Every structure is written in structure tokens, then in C-alpha cells.
């Protein structure tokens, strides 16, 4: 398997660990300011991003603005785990032709645009995007008083750590 996909699966395994330590009430809790988003909404968003990548249209275009947004994934650990397992299984079955070109549709703030990507670049973006949302989830966990025993959860591998700054 390709290193990009291996990294992606390793990153997504953190979602498995997270979900195994949450209940539905915590998954869907929207009490943390300033955005009042839930852990579940961030997990659903992450998985929807991968679902888009894994399901290009008949013209080999991937529309990142056309996500599923299944609210059950945001509120039910079992539904979130099932969606995660589906995404991870599809990634494991994915071919290694990551240099293949694909057109990506996204809205960067001024309406939708189409951009040429390789699958490698898109999966690398998805992995960084996942880590970014893990950082937000980690913030929510902290505000809810929940300790999640993963010292690198939400940290990009290139982020300097306090111990490396001494």
C-alpha cells in the first residue's frame, strides 16, 4: 500500500479510538463556545470529505461541496463507527494509482471552482484536514473535561512540540 494511504489510515484509526471512548451524548454535545459544534459534527465532516474523494462522478470529478451530511453520524457512535469502517475499508481497497489526475470542485469563499489535482495531493490534503479537525475535537474534549490519552491527537507531524523547543 502507498505511504499516503497508510498515513491516512493511521490518522483515521484515531477516530476508532475516540469513538470507542465516547457515548452518544458526548458525541453530540454542542455546549462548547465559541462555535457550539460537536465532536460528531467534526467526525462526520471528516468522513464526508473522504466519501467524496472515494466517489467521483461519471466524469471523474470530485465535488467537495456535495457531501452527504448524515446527521445520524453526528449523534450516534454506532452510526459514526459504521461510516468510519466503511471509509477505511474503501481506502484499504483503493488502488495505488495516486498520480492519476482528477478535477476537484470546491468553494474557497467566492463560489465553486474546479481545480486539477492528483489523487496523491487530494489524499494528502484530506489527511491534513483530518488532523486540523482533530485539533478542534481535542479543544472540545478539553472543555468538556474529557481526557483522551493520545499526546499527538490533533497535532500535525511537522508541528514543533514543547519538548523539541528546549
For residue 121, is pLDDT > 90? Answer: yes
- Model confidence at 166, pLDDT cuts 50, 70, 90, reads very low
Across the range 107-113, mean pLDDT stands at 96
Percent of the chain with pLDDT over 90: 84
Please tell me the distance from the alpha carbon of residue 6 to that of residue 2, in angstroms, as a whole number.
Answer: 6
Across the range 69-92, mean pLDDT stands at 96
For residue 160, is pLDDT > 80? Answer: no
Q: What average pLDDT does the structure give for the chain?
A: 93
Residue-range domains of the chain with CATH: 3-165 (1.20.120.450)
Those residues whose C-beta lies under 8 Å from the C-beta of residue 52, and which sit 6 or more positions away, are 62, 63, 64, 66, 67
For residue 45, is pLDDT > 60? Answer: yes
What is the pLDDT at residue 149? 87
Across the range 88-112, mean pLDDT stands at 92
For residue 14, is pLDDT > 80? Answer: yes
Bigger pLDDT: 160 or 137? Answer: 137
Across the range 14-20, mean pLDDT stands at 96
Across the range 15-38, mean pLDDT stands at 97
Please tell me the distance from the alpha carbon of residue 44 to that of residue 47, in angstroms, as a whole number.
Answer: 5
Please tell me the distance from the alpha carbon of residue 83 to that of residue 33, in angstroms, as a whole number.
Answer: 27
- Residues 142-153 have pLDDT tens digits of 999 999 888 889
For residue 2, is pLDDT > 80? Answer: yes
Decide: 19 and 84 in contact? Cβ < 8 Å: yes
Amino acid at each position: 500500500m502507498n505511504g499516503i494511504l497508510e498515513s491516512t489510515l493511521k490518522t483515521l484509526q484515531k477516530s476508532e479510538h475516540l469513538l470507542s471512548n465516547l457515548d452518544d451524548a458526548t458525541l453530540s454535545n454542542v455546549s462548547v463556545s465559541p462555535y457550539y459544534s460537536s465532536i460528531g459534527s467534526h467526525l462526520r465532516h471528516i468522513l464526508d470529505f473522504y466519501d467524496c474523494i472515494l466517489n467521483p462522478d461519471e466524469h471523474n470529478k470530485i465535488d467537495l461541496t456535495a457531501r452527504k451530511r448524515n446527521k445520524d453520524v453526528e449523534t450516534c457512535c454506532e452510526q459514526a463507527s459504521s461510516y468510519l469502517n466503511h471509509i477505511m475499508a474503501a481506502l484499504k481497497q483503493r488502488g495505488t494509482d495516486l498520480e492519476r489526475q482528477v478535477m476537484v470542485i470546491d468553494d474557497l469563499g467566492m463560489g465553486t471552482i474546479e481545480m486539477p489535482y492528483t489523487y496523491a495531493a487530494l489524499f494528502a490534503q484530506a489527511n491534513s484536514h483530518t488532523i486540523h479537525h482533530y485539533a478542534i475535537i481535542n479543544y472540545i474534549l478539553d472543555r468538556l473535561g474529557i481526557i483522551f490519552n493520545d499526546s499527538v491527537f490533533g497535532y500535525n507531524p511537522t508541528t514543533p512540540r514543547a519538548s523539541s523547543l528546549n
